[in-house]
């Protein structure tokens, strides 16, 4: 079965509007939760219902042993990717700080051979130009 990591945008759509049920819950995937995604979700869960949903997700993935934290080497690689994007594209990381998280998510997925599923085609495709990883863009 395919290993997958869902980006925070898909979880946010699901928590706020019930979108992507079939993708997040029904498809036969081996699901992992990136701890970077978890950080983004926890930071943005301002409403009590959203905070509870994020807490439930954390508990589920923790009990299943499916939390994926970036390794020291992944942080090292992410730094190289971000340096290259700044050199080639002229990015100012102070304005594009989400690229830091997205780089960690993309590179962590490579650690376990997982596919990243996201709606954020722009940033993840930029990262993919520097380092290969499996990516699926969700409409």
> Which tens digits make up the pLDDT trace of 28-76?
899 999 999 999 999 999 999 999 999 999 999 999 999 999 999 999 9
Q: What is the pLDDT of residue 36?
A: 98
Residue-by-residue DSSP string for 28-63: --EEEEEHHHHHHHHHH--SHHHHHHHHHHHHHHHH
Strand 30-34 and strand 67-68: the pairing is parallel
Mean pLDDT along residues 10-23: 92
Helices (H), 72-132: 72-89, 98-112, 121-130
Q: What is the pLDDT of residue 26?
A: 81
> Which tens digits make up the pLDDT trace of 75-130?
999 999 999 999 998 888 777 788 999 999 999 999 999 999 999 999 999 999 99
Q: List the 134-137 sheet strands across, edge first.
A: 67-68, 30-34, 3-6, 115-118, 134-137
Q: What is the pLDDT of residue 95?
A: 77
């Amino acid at each position: 079965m395919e290993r997958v990591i869902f980006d925070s945008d898909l979880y946010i759509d699901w928590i706020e509007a019930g979108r992507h049920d079939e993708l997040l819950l029904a498809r036969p995937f081996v699901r992992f939760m990136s701890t970077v995604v978890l950080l983004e979700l926890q930071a943005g869960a301002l409403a009590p219902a959203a905070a509870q949903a994020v807490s439930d997700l954390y508990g589920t993935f923790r009990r299943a042993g499916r939390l994926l934290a970036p390794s020291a080497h992944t942080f090292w690689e992410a730094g190289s990717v971000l340096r290259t994007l700044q050199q080639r594209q002229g990015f100012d990381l102070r304005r594009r700080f989400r690229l830091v998280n997205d780089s960690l998510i993309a590179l962590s997925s490579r650690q376990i051979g997982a596919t990243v599923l996201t709606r954020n085609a722009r940033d993840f495709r930029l990262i993919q130009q520097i380092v290969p990883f499996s990516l699926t863009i969700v409409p």
